Amino acid sequence: MIILGIETSCDETGAALLKVNGTSLTLLSQSLASSLSLHAKTGGIIPEIAAREQVKYILPVIQEALKKGLNYTISKTPPAIDGIAVTYGPGLIGSLLVGVETAKTLSLLWNMPLYPVNHLYGHIYANWINKSDIPLPALALVVSGGHTDLVLMKSHTDITVLGGTRDDAAGEAFDKIGRLLNLPYPAGPVIASLAESGDKKAFVLPRPMIGSHDFDFSFSGLKTAVLTLIKKNNWDFSDPSFTKNNSQLLSDICASVQEAIIDVITKKTIAAAKKTQVKSILLGGGVSANNKLRERLEVATQTFLPETQLFIPERQFSTDNAAMIAAAAAMQQNTSTWQTLTANPELYF
């Protein structure tokens, strides 16, 4: 079967066609538009602007995915697909509504099943795309802009949360610290790239909750520590000439921040995997695009849990995309109808 996936939870507008053969999922085509460049200037997402951009892109993006994958042009005659999957939460309500209402309309027009997908499951199921089957039980770590969650997946229908963030998520910590350093939004990838030429031991930053005997996270203390460090030293990263003359300092802060976040995530993930004795560890969410995090988890899994397999999505499926939404629909097979489906911005596991 072929599923059309639609993702509009935040600032990316995505559509993708996924070929489904049992648990084998292959990407046929995808199209992704982003309003990120608009948000880079404002240092964060303005929901109203994100929603307006979703309206602008949604039909062209769906059209492009269908054209690339099936040489189909949108009309009343349905394309050769078997269902439409759409993110219905969590996310920004204005952005979510654009995808949900479009998916409902197409499902009505083409008389086709509608699969509502929880965006967080999408990040987990990104691991199945273009890969062989993944052994369960698995421990999933979702690290995105709004979430840092450790989830135990005994089966595709038995999923429990082991822990989550008590305040800022890992991606949010990267983004907020980036703002303190006057870096563009989203700051995660910028901090990662500046960190490459930095000394990760330059500054001793806190590793919040690293020793707590649970699987919860907290990153707001790290942000406060960076703010205190900046204030104490009177560093002014809002002044372009200060930043230019102190590029090594900036790289050192970025490397130290990244190291602190990775230390906490790695330690908690390995501890949770040990405790639950899972066969696989799955990574997902935008922060899983981080090279150093990928490397560190690979080494830690091989060292401490050699029997456990680590799965990391292809980088294009780490950050928000529509293929992962089609993947979650294919694996979970939850259906709805255009009459009943509503967006839910507060959705959790």
287 binds ligand KG4 (CB under 6 A): yes
| 5-24: contacts with ligand KG4 (CB under 6 A) | 10
For Zn ion, the closer CB: 169 or 225: 169
| Burial environment of residue 90 by CB neighbours within 10 A (0 to 12, 13 to 18, 19 or more) | buried
Q: Coil, helix or strand for 133?
A: coil
Q: Are 118 and 124 in contact (CB under 8 A)?
A: no
Task: Provide, rounded to whole angstroms, the least separation between the CB of residue 87 and ligand KG4.
Answer: 10
| Burial environment of residue 321 by CB neighbours within 10 A (0 to 12, 13 to 18, 19 or more) | buried
Q: How far apart are CA 294 and CA 17, in angstroms?
A: 27
320 binds ligand KG4 (CB under 6 A): yes
* Selected binder of ligand KG4 within 7, 175, 252, 259 (CB under 6 A): 175
Counting every residue written for the chain, the total comes to: 349
For Zn ion, the closer CB: 288 or 301: 288
Task: Provide, rounded to whole angstroms, the least separation between the CB of residue 113 and ligand KG4.
Answer: 25
Q: Can you read off the two tokens belonging to residue 66?
A: 């269908």
Q: Coil, helix or strand for 145?
A: coil
289 binds ligand KG4 (CB under 6 A): yes
149 binds ligand KG4 (CB under 6 A): no
For ligand KG4, the closer CB: 109 or 161: 161
272 binds ligand KG4 (CB under 6 A): no
198 binds ligand KG4 (CB under 6 A): no
87 binds ligand KG4 (CB under 6 A): no
Number of neighbours of residue 44 by Cβ within 10 angstroms: 11
Region near Zn ion per CB under 5 A, out of 90-98, 99-107, 127-135, 314-322: 314-322
Question: Burial letters for 229-259: b for 16+ Cβ neighbours within 10 Å, e otherwise?
Answer: bbeeeebebeeeeebeebeebbbbbbbbbbb
Task: Provide, rounded to whole angstroms, the least separation between the CB of residue 324 and ligand KG4.
Answer: 9
* Selected binder of Zn ion within 144, 269, 280, 290 (CB under 5 A): 144
328 binds ligand KG4 (CB under 6 A): no
Which of Zn ion, ligand KG4, none does residue 180 bind to, with CB < 5 to 8 Å depending on kind? Answer: none
* Selected binder of ligand KG4 within 127, 269, 319, 332 (CB under 6 A): 319
For ligand KG4, the closer CB: 279 or 294: 294
For ligand KG4, the closer CB: 110 or 128: 128
* Selected binder of ligand KG4 within 79, 89, 285, 313 (CB under 6 A): 285
Q: How far apart are CA 299 and CA 286, in angstroms?
A: 20
The closest of 55, 56, 12, 4 to 30, measured between CA atoms, is: 4
* Selected binder of Zn ion within 265, 320, 322, 332 (CB under 5 A): 320
175 binds Zn ion (CB under 5 A): no
Q: Are 120 and 75 in contact (CB under 8 A)?
A: no
Q: Which helix (H) or strand (E) segment is 87 a member of?
A: strand 83-89
Expressed in angstroms, the distance from the first to the final Cα of the chain is 27
99 binds ligand KG4 (CB under 6 A): no
Most distant CA pair in the chain, distance: 65
Interface residues toward ligand KG4, by CB under 6 A: 10, 144-146, 171, 174-175, 186-189, 192, 285-287, 289-290, 319-320
Interface residues toward Zn ion, by CB under 5 A: 144, 320
